[in-house]
Amino acid sequence: MKIAPSILSANFANLLEDVKKIEKDADLLHIDVMDGHFVPNITIGPVVVKSLRKFFSIPFDVHLMIENPDLYIENFVNSGADIITVHQEACIHLHRTIQKIKSYGKKAGVSLNPATPLESIKYVLQDIDMVLIMTVNPGFGGQKFIDSMLKKIEEIKKMREDLGLNFEIEVDGGINLYNVKEVVEAGTDIIVAGSSIFESSDPAQTIKEFRKAVKR
């Protein structure tokens, strides 16, 4: 299991120090980009990603919750993104958007809101590096995990097996030390966790606890 702490729950007035706390224990840094249109919240853009890139070599996992992501892909590539994930619901020409991300030599992910069926991405699964299953409605940290999404995780894992593909399965929203084991057992490769890591008293230790909780 890989762990991708989400900086949405970090202290934005002290981002550098907060990311330093987790950089050695985390596998990826999850960066939530929100535009106030696709989701009812506004967060950070390429300028912040570029500033962080100067200090960290950890892979940047950029989750774009924005309309018209094609307009900003090049910007995020130049800012230092390693994985760029777009929402199926935000892309009219999803296949074209995926090709655009890959044309820069970056990994392409596609995310689905809780209500969006897996069937909607069936014909692009062979083209992508990651599927991001949202287990809360996107826009905010600290929400409750939607239990019915466990079945969705199992189903995407089965689709991957049936199609003989090897994209990674990332899960985002409401993951904590109490539910991480069942989320991983359902088929998750990459856990995103924001509030449970950054709002804990020792974020690095919490990542270690996540790894222990899965083995228990």
Ligand X SMILES: O=C(CO)[C@@H](O)[C@H](O)COP(=O)(O)O
Is 142 assigned to a binding site?
Answer: yes
Asked whether 31 and 60 are in contact (CB, 8 A), the reply is yes
Work out how close the CB of 172 gets to Fe ion at its nearest, in angstroms, rounded to a whole number.
4
Q: Is 172 a catalytic residue?
A: yes
Q: Which does 106 bind (CB under 5 to 8 A by kind): ligand X, Fe ion, none?
A: none
User: Smaller CB distance to ligand X: residue 159 or 183?
Assistant: 183
Distance (Å, rounded) from C-alpha 186 to C-alpha 194? 20
8 binds ligand X (CB under 6 A): yes
142 binds ligand X (CB under 6 A): yes
- Alpha carbon of 106 to those of 14, 123, 152: distances in Å? 28, 20, 26
Q: Which of 80, 133, 172, 184 binds ligand X (CB under 6 A)?
A: 172
Of residues 25-84, those binding ligand X (CB under 6 A)? 30, 32, 63, 65
Asked whether 165 and 131 are in contact (CB, 8 A), the reply is no
User: Smaller CB distance to ligand X: residue 33 or 108?
Assistant: 33
Q: Which does 139 bind (CB under 5 to 8 A by kind): ligand X, Fe ion, none?
A: ligand X
Distance (Å, rounded) from C-alpha 44 to C-alpha 76? 11
Asked whether 197 and 19 are in contact (CB, 8 A), the reply is no
> 121-124 long-range contacts, Cβ below 8 Å, gap at least 24?
121/88, 121/94, 122/159, 123/95, 124/94, 124/95, 124/98
Tell me, residue by residue from 137 to 176, as one string, x for binding to Fe ion by CB under 5 A and - for no binding. Answer: -----------------------------------x----
Of residues 28-57, those binding Fe ion (CB under 5 A)? 32
Q: Which does 187 bind (CB under 5 to 8 A by kind): ligand X, Fe ion, none?
A: none
Q: Is 32 a catalytic residue?
A: yes
Asked whether 22 and 9 are in contact (CB, 8 A), the reply is no
Calculate the CA 154 to chain-centre distance: 18
User: Which residues of this protein are in contact with Fe ion, per CB under 5 A?
Assistant: 32, 63, 172
Residues within the annotated binding site? Answer: 6, 30, 32, 63, 139-142, 172-174, 194-195
Q: Which residues are catalytic?
A: 32, 172
